[in-house]
Amino acid sequence: MSNVPQIKLNNGVLIPAIGTGSWAPNTVEEQSKVKGWILTALQNGYRHIDTAQSYYTEPAAGQAIRESGIPREQIFVTTKLPWNHQECVAQSFEQSLKNLGLDYVDLYLLHWPQPIAHDGGDGYGLLKNADGSIKLSDKINFNQAWVEFEKILESGKARSIGVSNFSVKTLEQLLTTAKHVPVTNQVELHPYLAQEDLRKYCDQKGITLTAYTPSGYATVRADPLIVELSKKYSTTPNQITLAWHIARGTIIVPKSESVERQKQNITLPTLEATDVAKINGLDRGERLCNAPDANGMMYGWTVEQLGW
Ligand SMILES: NC(=O)c1ccc[n+]([C@@H]2O[C@H](COP(=O)([O-])OP(=O)(O)OC[C@H]3O[C@@H](n4cnc5c(N)ncnc54)[C@H](OP(=O)(O)O)[C@@H]3O)[C@@H](O)[C@H]2O)c1
C-alpha cells in the first residue's frame, strides 16, 4: 500500500491526494502503451486513476485495474463526460462504465462547462459552423447537464460528482441550481498558475481543487527557485512542485510513463511553510496546457464566458 495522504471530500468520501493521470495522444502506438504504465503506477503504490472518455484510455485503465489484482474498492477511479455529450449524459456515462468494465466510478466529472454540439457519433471532435467557429449545442447548458449528474450520483453508480475547468463565474452559475455541490473542480494549476481567487472561492464552498498539469512541465521544472529548493530537499524539481500542491491541500494527478518518475511523484518531501510561501510568489497567471487562442477563444467560448 502507498503512503499517499487521503483527502476527505465534502460528501465524506476519501480520495488519495495523488492519482495517476492517464491522458495519452490518440495514436495506436501511444494508446497501446497506456495499460502498461497505469499498471506499473498501481504496482508502485498509486490507488487513484484519473481518466476520461475523450482520452480513449478508459479501457486501458479498466484492464490495468483487473490485471493488478488489487481489490476494486481500494482504487479510486475518476472519469469525465466528453464536452460534446452534455446532451446525452446518462447514455455517455453508461458507455464509460462499459469502457472501464466497472459497475461504478468513484468520481464523475463534467469535463468542460461549454456544451459542444453532438453529432450522434462516438467521436469527441469539435463540430464546426460554416464560418469555422466551433458549433455549440443549443439544446443544453451545464446547469441542466448537472441535473443528470445528480441522478447518476443518486443511483449509486458514481460515488461522487464534480466539475473540471470551471471558474468562480461558472461555479456561481452552477450553484444557483445545484442540489449537490461538486466535490472537486479539476483545473490547470501549478506555481505559474496558482489560481488564488478560485482557491478561496472553492474553500468557502467546500470544493477541493484538483490540479491538472500539476508539474507545470519543463517550464516550471527549470524555474530557478524550484531548482534551488530541489537541492535543499535533495529531490527533483518535479517533486518540489508536487509537494507544494500537497502542502496546500490540493489533489494532484501527475502522469508519467516511467516507473522511476511514477515513484518520485508519490514520494514527496514536506516543504517548510516559508518555502511554500516562496513558491506561491511565482504565480504569473500563465496557462501552459489549455491556453486561449489569439482571439481569446477556448474551445467555442470566450475567456469571458469561461470566467478565466
Ligand atoms: N480536466 C482536464 O481538462 C485535463 C486537462 C489536462 C490533463 N488532465 C489530467 O491531468 C493529467 C496530468 O496532466 P499533464 O499530463 O498535462 O501534466 P503533468 O502530469 O504535470 O506532466 C506530464 C509530463 O511530465 C513528465 N513528467 C512526469 N513526472 C516527471 C518527473 N518526475 N520529472 C520530469 N518529468 C516528469 C511526463 O513525462 P513521462 O511520462 O515521460 O514521465 C509528461 O510529459 C493528465 O494525464 C490527465 O489525466 C486533465
User: Helices in 44-108 by DSSP H: which ranges?
Assistant: 58-68, 89-100
Query: Active-site residues: which are they?
Result: 55
The cell numbers describing 227, all together, are 531548482
User: How far, in Å, CA of 16 to CA of 156, rounded?
Assistant: 20
Q: Strand runs (DSSP E) across 48-141, as ranges?
A: 48-50, 76-81, 107-110
Please provide residue 98's backbone torsions phi and psi, each rounded to the nearest 5 degrees. Answer: -65, -45
The amino acid occupying position 131 is: D
CA 126/CA 136 separation, integer angstroms: 9
Using the mean position of ligand 1's atoms as its centre, give its distance from the Cα of residue 252 in Å.
10
Secondary structure of residue 254 in the 3-state scheme: coil
| 111 labelled ligand-binding | yes
> What is the residue-level pLDDT of the chain in tens, covering all 308 positions?
358 999 999 999 999 999 999 999 999 999 999 999 999 999 999 999 999 999 999 999 999 999 999 999 999 999 999 999 999 999 999 999 999 999 999 999 999 999 999 877 668 888 889 988 899 999 999 999 999 999 999 999 999 999 999 999 999 999 999 999 999 999 999 999 999 999 999 999 999 999 999 999 999 999 999 999 999 999 999 999 999 999 999 999 999 999 999 999 999 999 999 999 999 999 999 999 999 999 999 999 999 999 99
Nearest residue (by CA) to ligand 1, atom 48, is 212
Q: What are phi and psi of 107, to 5 degrees?
A: -150, 130
Specify the 3-state DSSP secondary structure of 299. coil
The CATH H-level superfamily of 6-218+251-269+284-306 is: NADP-dependent oxidoreductase domain (3.20.20.100)
286 in Cβ contact with 199 (< 8 Å): no
The DSSP secondary-structure symbol of 133 reads P
Q: Where are the domains of the chain?
A: 6-218+251-269+284-306
Q: According to the model, what pLDDT value does residue 132 have?
A: 86
Q: Which residues line ligand 1 (CB under 6 A)?
A: 21-23, 50, 111, 164-165, 186, 212-215, 217, 236, 238, 253-258, 261, 264-265, 289
